[in-house]
Structure formats: C-alpha cells, structure tokens
Amino acid sequence: MAQAAPTLPPRSAIAPEHTWNAESVFPSRADWQAEYQQLLTHVGDLSRFQGRLGESPAALADYYQTFDALYRRVGHVYFYAVMSSSCDSLDSQATAMVGQAGALFSQMMAASAFVEPELLAIGREKLLAWVESEPRLSHLAHYVDDLFRRQAHVRSAEVEEVLGLANDPFSTLENTADLLTSAEIPFRPATDKSGEKLPVGQGSINKLLNSPDREVRRTAWENYADGYLAFKSTLANNLTAAIKRDVFYARARRYDSSLEAALYEHNIPPVVFHNLINTFRQNIPTWHRYWAVRRRILGVETLYPYDIWAPLAASNPVVPFTQAVEWVSQGMRPLGEEYVSTLQRGCLEQRWVDIYPNQGKRQGAFSFGWQGTFPFIMMSYNDRLQDMSTLAHELGHSMHSYYTWQTQPTIYAHYSMFAAEVASNFNQALVRDHLMKTNTDRDFQITLIEEAMSNFHRYFFIMPTLARFELEVHQRAERGEGLTAEVMNGLMADLFSEGYGSEMGVDRDRVGITWAQFPHMYMNFYVFQYATGISAAHALADGVLAGKPGAVENYLRFLKAGSSMYAIDALKMAGVDMATPEAVEKTFAVLARYVDRLDELTR
C-alpha cells in the first residue's frame, strides 16, 4: 500500500534561526503597523515643495533631504510586507500588508510626481550650476544628465501624477498571479515507481524534477503543468492585462514600443536585445547537441522536458547549508577578505537568508531589501549542489546591494536589472571554477557540469525563449490583436519546439503553459537580461580568474556604482562591452565546452 503523501511543513514549524531576520527591520508587526500609520500622515509632506523647487538650490536640497528620508521609511514598510507574504502566502495578514504598503508607495510616488517636470522647467544649465554651488546637490550630476536624456518622455505634472497613481491598481496583477500560483492552485501529488505520493508545490517542484526516478519526474512535471493549465484562461487574461499595462505606459510616455520603453529607461541600446536573440537562434544547434548527449547518457529512446533535470552522475553530493556557505566563500576569495567575511556574516550570523521550504512559500528565489536593511534572500534550500548554486547566485545580488547601499546616496541606491544579473551569475562562475579545480572526482565533476548546464538551461535557453515570446505577444498587443490562452500556449510551444529540435518529445499543451510558470513575465522585458547577465558575468569572471591587472578592482567598482552611471557604461568600466555580441558568443563557447566535457566523462 502506498504511504500517505508527506506535506511541506507549515511556516510555524521552521526554526527562527533558519528564517530571515525580520525583527531587524521591525521588532514586531505592531511596530510595522505603527510606522505605516505614521507614514500615512507624512506622505503629504512632499506637497509643500510643489511649485517651489525652482526658488533656489537650498529649496531643492531641502526637498531631496525630505524625500530621501521618506523614501527609505516607506521602502522598509513595503519590503517587510512583501518579504513576509513571499515566505508565507497563506498568511492573510501579510497579504493585506502588501496591499497597504503598495498603496502607500504609490501615494508617495504620486505625491512626488511634480518633481521632474519642475526640474525640466528649471533647465539643464541652471540645474548643473546649482549642483556645482550647493554641496547637498553635488551628487546629482548624473541624475540631471539622465533626466534631460529622458525629457521627451516625461509628461506634465498632472499626467505624471495619474501615471504614479496607476501603479497601485496595476501592481495587483503580479500579486494576483502570485497568490493564485503559490497558494490556490491545487497540484496533484507526484507518484514514484512504487506508488508512493510526493507533494508537488512551489517549494518542492525543483527537487522532484531532479529525482533519479523517471516516474517521479514525469508525474511531477505533468501535474505541475496541469495545475497551471486548469487556470490557463485566468492566467492568460491576467498576463494580457499586464501586457496592455506595458503598452499603456509606453504610449503614455510616447515611446514607439514596449521594448523601447523598457530599454530606454536604463539607456540600453536596442541592439543589445536583438544581438542576444539573433546569437541565440544561431547557436540553437549547441542545445540540440546537448539534448543528444543527455539522451545517450540516460539511455532513453525519446527525451522529454522532464528529463532535462534528471541526474546523470552515479551519486549526488548532499550539501548542507553551512557547507554551501563555505564553498561559496572559498570560490569568492579572489575578490578579497572583505567580500568573503561580509558574505559569511550575512549567512551565518545576521540571517540574511530565509532558507528552507514551507507551505505557502513563493516559488523560486530572490534577493530583496532596502537601503538601511540587510540584503535578504528568500529561497527553498534542499541540500543539493543546485541549491548551493542558487545560494551563490542570490548572494551575488545581495553583495551587489550591500556594496551599493554602503557607497551610494539614496538616489543611486538601486541598480538596473541589466546590471543585477551580472553579479549573480559572476558568483556562480567563480564558485563553479573553484569546485572544478579542487574536486576531480568523476561523479562530482559530472554533477557540477549538470548544475552548470541547469543554470545555462534556465538563463541561456528558457530566458531567451521567453524573451522571444514576450516580444511577440507585446507586438501583437501593440497591433491590437487578441491574446488568449490558446494563442499564448501555441506560440510558446512553437518556440520551445524549435529549441528542442528532433531529440525531444514535445507535449504541446504542457510545454505551452511555460509562460505562466514565470512571474518574471509581469516585468516588462526583464527576462532577456538573464542571458545578457550570464554573458557579461563569464567575460568578467575570466578576467578575474586569469589574474588580469585591475580586474578585481574594476569589478568591485562596478558593484559599488549602483545607478550612479548607466549600466552599459559600468560594465565597460568593469571590462565588457555589451553593445557587441562578443560576450554572448563567448558564453555559448563556454556552454559548448561543458557539453564536450560531459560527453567525454560519460563515454
């Protein structure tokens, strides 16, 4: 008789030392509520500056001091709510807090909507003169340059206020998808070859797909997809609303397309996006070769998507969380003692990481915080080498945030996603290199290559494919064409079929729903930056590992730059030019070498 299906532990069963350090942000939820109530009365403080920014440099400096303090406080309230809900979407109080905090944040942005129109009215030359004369404005030169670069897309104060207010209702789209997929979709359990039931959820799906039992992988993959398919019309309608939101913002700000709007914000040349897509399509045969090698190793007649994560080595190392921290620390030693000791304190003493899976925990992993908090990480650690890699990835984000927050003023305390995915993949490249050099065991090396290929599969196969999907559905919306679940699923299945080639069996319905399984699709043209990020990361890691003069120093300068310079320029400073396809081509060469090595080790 099959055993009863085990369940993920409730949030209350997770030991406090394994959870994020929420009390370092607010000692209790009562304190959060008190701060929230107080901020409701302070958001209006910004209105006293309206119409006065052009009076003098001192008046402008006073505004920024007031805004910076308010922005930090509201950010703490917002972050605390989002992190609480992400770790337990079954927590209805946390869900309500996200709504409250999101509305508060939107109110603050709407209340400050007058700023950029007033600055533009002051004029570039006068503003730069003020930057020179008023010490409290001395850091604003880059911001002024960027503001006037974006001038054609900044609307009147009234329009900016409306756009700011629209952020709140539009933000519910992603929250709706998150609640539906993390808390309300009932996934049927997977079944192993003996008939035992295994729970399928956002915190367990990756572990199930890595099972050596093909029946576990098949039933987990199918039942996970089927959970989404049961709500495909709802999810498609919700994503269509998000796509139309992107089109609305693009047109309201007078961009020609959603893609242009997304790239222009951070001064990314469109050629970067198109170089990636074109280079990806040219190199799809590398993926076809990998599927052939994997099919040979597994000894199956037909490879299916659920076989992509099947273990290939005879044994898979168990990697407890503390061992993962140690390996990541060793791998990052080329960056120096300060980097490593900060990372270790964060993981082992300051509780940056919400470590283990629980019921209601959001899928995936992310790094999030605010200037003045720790750079926290949410993940579901399952003692695998792949989880160690995820930790290294998120610590790249967190250390990027740490250095930026330590170095930059509030206005530059965030960095674009284009820069963010460099730091995360850079960490993985260094840690992987360290482990390849220090552990020559055949099975360990195969497992490590599997981890690398899993990472490449996500960032260099799935994400470019999703980017192609995203471009197509946005262009259809811009042309006024209808978007339905059938249209989205058909397009997604076509794109994956091209990438899989003849080596892979394609279940069009279940492959077609892949778009719904990635919350990234609610962030306008975000996913392509995973692929550009991994490309820049490998280019920079090569310089550091080769001992190239200035490589470490320039990389740390990049981490500290925040948004004080354009991301494309910060990467040039660090040593890579993303306006050419060279970094993408080189990273496909890295991928090909992994396929070659895997083929050698398994023959």
Residue entry with tokens 């269509």? 240
> Considering the domain boundaries, does residue 166 fall inside one?
yes
Q: What is the dihedral of CA 127, 133, 138, 143, to 10 degrees?
A: 10
Provide the percentage of residues in the chain whose pLDDT is more than 70. 99
How far is it, in rounded angstroms, from Cα 140 to Cα 57? 12
pLDDT value at residue 204: 87
What pTM was estimated for this model as a whole? Answer: 0.84
pLDDT at 346 over 70: yes
> Considering the domain boundaries, does residue 143 fall inside one?
yes
- Cβ proximity of 463 and 527 under 8 Å: yes
pLDDT at 316 over 90: no
Catalytic site positions: 394
| Average pLDDT for 351-378 | 95
Q: Assign residue 21 a region: left if phi > 0, alpha if psi is -120 to 50, beta otherwise?
A: beta
Higher pLDDT, 162 or 486: 486
- At residue 366, φ and ψ (nearest 5 deg) are -155, 160
> Considering the domain boundaries, does residue 124 fall inside one?
yes
pLDDT at 3 over 70: no
Residue 51 belongs to a domain with what CATH number? 1.20.140.70
| Average pLDDT for 154-181 | 87
pLDDT in tens, 480-529: 999 999 999 999 999 999 999 999 999 999 999 999 999 999 999 999 99
How far is it, in rounded angstroms, from Cα 130 to Cα 127? 5
Strand segments, DSSP code E, in 375-417 are: 376-378
pLDDT at 584 over 90: yes
> Considering the domain boundaries, does residue 21 fall inside one?
yes
pLDDT at 7 over 90: no
pLDDT value at residue 206: 86
pLDDT value at residue 183: 85
* Beta strands 366-368; 197-198: pairing state: unpaired
Q: What is the DSSP secondary-structure string of 488-537?
A: HHHHHHHHHHHHHGGGB---HHHHHGGGGG-GGGGSTT-THHHHHHHHHH
Q: What is the DSSP secondary-structure string of 540-557?
A: HHHHHHTT-TTHHHHHHH
**Number of domains the chain contains:** 1
| Average pLDDT for 123-137 | 97
The parent domain of residue 115 ranges over 14-173
The pLDDT-based confidence of 4 (bands split at 50, 70, 90) is very low
Please, what's the b/e burial string for 303-342 (b: 16 or more CB within 10 A of its CB; e: otherwise)? bbbbbbbbbbbeebbebebeebbbbbbebbebbeeebbeb
> Considering the domain boundaries, does residue 348 fall inside one?
no
Residues 250, 256, 260, 266: is their CA dihedral positive or negative? negative
Average pLDDT along the chain? 94
| Average pLDDT for 186-191 | 96
> Considering the domain boundaries, does residue 99 fall inside one?
yes
pLDDT value at residue 229: 97
pLDDT at 2 over 70: no
pLDDT in tens, 511-522: 999 999 999 999
pLDDT value at residue 168: 85
pLDDT value at residue 5: 44
- Cβ proximity of 26 and 32 under 8 Å: yes
pLDDT at 538 over 80: yes
pLDDT value at residue 6: 57
> Considering the domain boundaries, does residue 387 fall inside one?
no
pLDDT in tens, 12-30: 999 999 999 999 999 999 9
> Considering the domain boundaries, does residue 555 fall inside one?
no
Q: What is the DSSP secondary-structure string of 250-285?
A: HHHTT-SSHHHHHHHTTT--HHHHHHHHHHHHHTHH
pLDDT at 361 over 70: yes
The pLDDT-based confidence of 155 (bands split at 50, 70, 90) is confident
- Please, which residues have CB within 8 angstroms of residue 443's CB and are 6 or more apart in sequence? 313, 314, 315
pLDDT value at residue 285: 97
How far out from the chain centre does Cα 579 lie? 22
